[in-house]
Every structure is written in structure tokens, then in C-alpha cells.
Amino acid sequence: MLLLAILFGFSVSLLTQWLVERSLDSPVVLIEKFVVLERSYNAGVAFGITFPYQDAVVGVALALVVLLALAKAESLLSHTGFGVIIGGAMANIVDRYPDGLVTDFIRVGTFPSFNAADSFITVGVLLLLLEGFLRTRPFS
């Protein structure tokens, strides 16, 4: 299941980035200027934040997540959570490779723009947190 989740997060993220690059030429308002699809580029790691050696730090962090997934993923929730985190991170690395920029295209309110890969990473973290909560809080 881990591999399937990785492939899903990776392929959907890259597909959306490819579609945005080729077809999103002007903003598309989805909800009253609150949710807008608009292509932008990001040199940072998260929320446009940049720092020295960020590519190396991201590579090391991804390697650690892979090792943690191989060692700790046991349930469907953890396989899915780790998988979409790894797939999303790999997609952002691939997108960044040619020019040092990641393609973002979702803007919600005043929150910084993000992409599908960022969403997969966020959902993956939430799934792992949910699993941790469920394991420590038995239901009666």
C-alpha cells in the first residue's frame, strides 16, 4: 500500500503541475475571490521561505521520512500518510529541478499559494497525526 500511495501522490501532483503549466494562463475564481486558481512560482521550501542549503535539507528530510515509513508504517492509515508525503515531496523536487522553482496554483484567502503536492504532504501529516491519536486514545 505504501508504494501505491507514493505513486498516487507523485503522479497526481506532477499531472496537475503539468496541466497548470500548459493551460492556466489567467486566474480562475472558484469562490468569490477567496479560492482562486492562479499560476505562480515559488523558490522557497514552504510558504515562499528560502534558506541556505534548502535542497540538501529537503533531500535529507525526505530520506528520513522514507526510512521512518519503512520502519514504522503498519496500518492503512500510516501507509497512506507516509506514501502521500513521500509522493508529494518527490513531485515538488522533480518540478523544482529544471529551474529551481515549484509551480503553485491554489490560492485560498491570504494564505500563500500552494500546489497539489503541498496538499498531499499536509494530508499525509494529518493522517499520521490521526493514527497517533487513535492509537493513544482507545474508544470504549
Catalytic positions, written as ranges? 104, 118
CA distance 66 to 83: 9
Question: Per the structure block, which three cell numbers stand in for 93?
Answer: 523536487
38: burial class by Cβ within 10 Å (0-12, 13-18, 19+)? middle
Residues 21 and 98 sit within 8 Å (Cβ to Cβ): no
29 vs 59: CA distance, rounded Å: 35
Residue with cell 493551460: 23
